[in-house]
Structure formats: structure tokens, C-alpha cells
A and B are shown apart, each in its own frame.
Chain A
Amino acid sequence: DTGVSQDPRHKITKRGQNVTFRCDPISEHNRLYWYRQTLGQGPEFLTYFQNEAQLEKSRLLSDRFSAERPKGSFSTLEIQRTEQGDSAMYLCASSLFGRGASGQTGITDTQYFGPGTRLTVL
């Protein structure tokens, strides 16, 4: 079972440009989460999906941020008109909530994280 993967691992962009990140969760995980982590801080929640449905969005997620999970598998996080304050590590995590197709249960709903995408806005 492969872990959570994220692409790209690093992104350098100029202020005002749009960027898009991709996250592939662990197969059979129905929940997918996005967090943002700045240097020396713990991750901050941005949004999460259960299957295709976006269940919660943080107020940190301004109008310039949008996330999708169209088929309930991979997810994309887009930032429009990037600002220098958007420079951070963007972490994706996935979890199994409820019962999976193979019968396994995700009682604790433990989130497993990917390697992150480090964004630098110049």
C-alpha cells in the first residue's frame, strides 16, 4: 500500500501567478485533508473532503484558494494571484472514516500525511 503522494514537491513562483498542487491519497481512504505549515509552526487546517464532498473549510482559506476532489480520489489545491504570505509547506493527508470496501474500519480516523509541497512566492 503506497502512502500519500504530493506533486510537485517544490514550487517557486512569482507574486501574482496561479499555482496548483495535486495530492493522491492512500487507496481506499475516503477522506482527504489540506493543511498549511509555516516555519516553526504546527500545521493549520485548510479544508477536507469526504469522497467528493467538501465538508469543511477554514476561514484561512480565502477566496484565492480553491480545492477540488472531483472523483473522490485525488485532489487539487489552487492558489490564484499568489502573495508572498502564501509561502509555506502545503500538506495533504488522508484517512479512512467508517468502513472501507474491503471491510476494514477506520475507527480512529487517523490521518496519514504526504511529503508536502513547499511553495515559495518571490
Chain B
Amino acid sequence: AQKITQTQPGMFVQEKEAVTLDCTYDTSDQSYGLFWYKQPSSGEMIFLIYQGSYDEQNATEGRYSLNFQKARKSANLVISASQLGDSAMYFCAMRLRINAGGTSYGKLTFGQGTILTVHP
């Protein structure tokens, strides 16, 4: 079974600085997708970035980038130029991409999350 581990319960960063949120995963499958979501205090899960296991380049989306190290099974989220609005809970999640029948598994397995606080 797949597992996601986020070892940082809380992180603090100064506004305009960069911050890295750690995520390690465990799966024996070769084909999978990794996602990061942001959950503000309002509760809604907001999709940030996706990395496929066969993608050769690290994913980037604006101020978000994913430091994907397949051999280490890590998929760390880097937020550059932090803003006050980045303060939220961040979740790493994994989905196995393809099963033997060629159909994408649907469910996401989430980590415990990291609370990020951005200081002015």
C-alpha cells in the first residue's frame, strides 16, 4: 500500500523568503502521480502542482516548484517569495497512475500535512 510522510508539523518563514516543505512517499509501483494541495483556514483544498513519476523535469507553477528526487522517493514543495496569503496547511498526496488494466486508480493518499506560517 502507498504511504505519504510529511515530517514537518509546522514551518515558519519570513515574507518574501523561500521555503521548502518536505514530502516522502512509499510505493512499489513505478507509475504514480504526486500532488500538492493548500488548505487555508476556510477549509477548501486548493490544487497547487502535479508531478508524474515519469516526468523528466521538475514541475513548476508560478511561485511553486516541486523538487522531485525519484531515487530518494521525495517530492518536496518549494514556495519562492512567500506571501502572507501563503499561510495555510499544505498536503502532499499520491495517486497510483495506472493499474494492470490500464485504468488510472482514482483515490489520493494524503500525508498528515504541514502548517506554514508566513511572518511579515
**Tier of interface size on chain B:** 20 to 34
**Per-position binary interface string of chain B over residues 79-120, scored 1 when its CB falls under 8 Å from any chain A CB and 0 otherwise:** 000000000000101010000000011111111110000000
Contacts A89-B43, A91-B45, A115-B43 given; indicate if A110 touches B35 (C-beta within 8 A).
yes
Residues of B within 8 A of A56 (CB): 105-107
Residues of A within 8 A of B64 (CB): none
Q: Give the interface SS of chain A, mostly helix, strand, loop or mixed.
A: strand
**Per-position binary interface string of chain A over residues 101-122, scored 1 when its CB falls under 8 Å from any chain B CB and 0 otherwise:** 0000000111111111010000
Which of A31, A40, A91, A116 is the one whose CB lies under 8 Å from B106? A31
Instruction: Give bound CA distance, A40 to B4, whole Å.
Output: 15
Whether B108 pairs with A43 at a CB distance below 8 angstroms is: yes
Which of B45, B91, B105, B113 is the one whose CB lies under 8 Å from A93? B45
Whether B42 pairs with A33 at a CB distance below 8 angstroms is: no
Residue A42 at the B interface, CB < 8 A? yes
Residues of B within 8 A of A58 (CB): 107
A: number of interface residues (CB 8 Å): 29
Instruction: Give bound CA distance, A118 to B41, whole Å.
Output: 13
Question: Closest residue to B104 on the A side, CB-wise?
Answer: A109
* Extra inter-chain contacts (16) besides given A42-B112, A111-B35, A113-B44, CB under 8 Å: A33-B106, A35-B108, A40-B113, A42-B4, A42-B93, A42-B111, A44-B110, A45-B107, A45-B108, A45-B109, A50-B106, A108-B33, A108-B50, A113-B37, A116-B43, A118-B43
Interface set of A (CB-CB < 8 Å, partner B): 31, 33, 35, 40-45, 48, 50, 55-56, 58, 89, 91, 93, 95, 97, 108-116, 118
